[in-house]
Structure 1
């Protein structure tokens, strides 16, 4: 279901979605009240599994409609459409806290915006990935190795080493905000090591993401700033449109923000952060790669493994898109695979005690 007060935006999204034969548009509505009515009158074959929901609409806006949509059975997945503004970022994080699964940047009506292959890829991946996850039960087992029956994935190393890393880097993209929240909820308030988060997000959104993650009861979370001291017990989020790096100065390690060109079509990207961490800390780096399109993080994880650090990855069953973690797993680099929750529990066990 497409719910947006702009008929232009509804038509643009429909054209992009209908290029995939696995997606069917079952309704196009202009406000939240119409969305609720459409859900209530639809027979099961035509009931929306995924609702793309604008937040700013007349009659009934998206934030008002969101909890009411999520009360419907069977419960649809809601992906909110957000303007790329500071206000839009704040509204997006509020929607994620209220139960939305993900967000997409609201497309412009220009031909260039609609023809952007990255936007189209993200849109299709989120709609199909969340639809797949929405059909599965929420409960999943603890950390587990990749199934041996999947011949395309090499046998992975299993078993946690009882070695506390000096620093942890968590990389994520498509589906990442909810995966990060699930993982960080499981961490102690003051872990023995600092952690860096690199989430593919535009400028402005990462500050709101950090604020959102900071409310979950885990370690303090903030958006990284140039010159911040890398301190144990804190999580630093790479700011949008900047790579996050480290440099040693005396006995301290400081954070650096870089405007170097995008890598893997992303800035921030996971690979430059992992390169920098390996150069600074050597073998004592822990990398955790969560759901996301593409293979950002693969090259960095290869360096981590070569330096005898540890690499973990989200499993395929719980990933919205098993691109980034799948690339790491297929390369045989992932010592552990699991859900964000189980990886969070493992990190809490590993990093919750002092070195």
Structure 2
């Protein structure tokens, strides 16, 4: 199955400006045909290349400019997992949307794909079940990722504006670290934790936008890369130094103080961002409980979740750090915080690790 030019369009004959350019990589001719018809019926989407193997796709990417790649994982030869990081490197800014039955069969495959750099995943439905809702969801994801890819050279958050002004961070030693992320966040978390020392001496809270069924896999992955215990948040769990607590996928992770003990509280109230779990309640609770001793980090992610909570931390005297645009898969969340003037540093994850060590004292005292 070699290169296939785009099929004859059955949709609008004329494309709009700023068309999102797509590549489909799937060994199933049925899937390729269905994706082609979905894409070509949208005026703002254009299918520019189709491949039946990862090897063929990598060859095409050297000469074809694309914004979004739809990638299957189960293919003959190289396969999607092996090809994914190479595609990201060659495509230079393209976003990869993994569409595979493997993501339906288990959380492990989804988290692995995200850790390798996929911007988003969604399950491939069984043959013959590409219904209207599925098609609408697929197109929505493509559009979101396509806009991100096209913003790479000139992000709308910064277009026509001066660089974000950095704030002076708190002069108080942090007693808690809270990290939030969404799209592109898993590889950023891996890079950050890989550079942190074995001992920080403070509890670490993590909110990553993922469904609840994926969180146990994420916990195991963070344990492996960080060398620390990683637990899923449960009501009443007491925070402990150098222990990672991860927000469950169906509740916000917040903290309360009870008689000198710092305990997890699960919050399921809706938030303006619509995210669950959300960074905003997590940050807000730290601002209330720890005040100027709060340290928050916002990594790659789509949207604005975390901006309101970051403002709470800053107003309480704490510090907010964000991932820089060049190292992000999506600079939505950290970009929103930065352009709001709430960040004390804008850096790649490896450099943020150094700022975290400085902010906590490396082995900050918990008691």
User: Mean Cα displacement is larger for which, 277-286 or 196-205?
Assistant: 277-286
Q: What is the TM-score when the length of structure 2 is the normalising length?
A: 0.76
Secondary structure of the corresponding residue to residue 216 of structure 1: helix
Shift of 1:222: 2.7
Question: How big is each residue's C-alpha offset from its partner over 1:198-246, in whole Å with a ceiling of 9 and x where there is no partner?
Answer: 1111121122112112111443323222222111111111111211112
Relative to structure 1, is the Cα distance of residues 38 and 183 closer, same or farther in structure 2, using a 3 angstrom cutoff? closer
Question: How big is each residue's C-alpha offset from its partner over 1:40-91, in whole Å with a ceiling of 9 and x where there is no partner?
Answer: 4x4842377864322345x55x8x4532565689745755335596843111
2:54 to 35, 39, 43: 35
Shift of 1:35: 3.0
Give yes or no for the alignment of 1:11 onto 2:34. yes
Shift of 1:296: 0.7
Q: What is the correspondence of 1:112-191 to structure 2 with a 5 Å cutoff?
A: 112-116=133-137, 120-126=139-145, 129=148, 151-158=161-168, 163-191=172-200
Matches of 2:209 and 2:88, distance apart in 1: 32
Question: How big is each residue's C-alpha offset from its partner over 1:262-283, in whole Å with a ceiling of 9 and x where there is no partner?
Answer: 5412100111111222222222
Q: What is the correspondence of 1:95-110 to structure 2 with a 5 Å cutoff?
A: 95-96=113-114, 99-106=116-123, 108=125, 109-110=130-131
Give yes or no for the alignment of 1:197 onto 2:212. no
Q: What is the correspondence of 1:69-84 to structure 2 with a 5 Å cutoff?
A: 75-76=90-91, 79-82=97-100
2:217 alignment partner in structure 1: 208
Count of residues in correspondence between the two structures: 330
Higher CA-based Rg: 2
1 or 2 for the larger relative contact order (CA 8 Å, sep ≥6)? 1
1:226 alignment partner in structure 2: 235
Relative to structure 1, is the Cα distance of residues 52 and 285 closer, same or farther in structure 2, using a 3 angstrom cutoff? same
Give yes or no for the alignment of 1:94 onto 2:109. no
Q: What is the TM-score when the length of structure 1 is the normalising length?
A: 0.79
Give yes or no for the alignment of 1:54 onto 2:72. yes
Secondary structure of the corresponding residue to residue 181 of structure 1: helix
Q: Is the 8 A contact 2:182 2:209 kept in 1?
A: yes
2:316 alignment partner in structure 1: 307
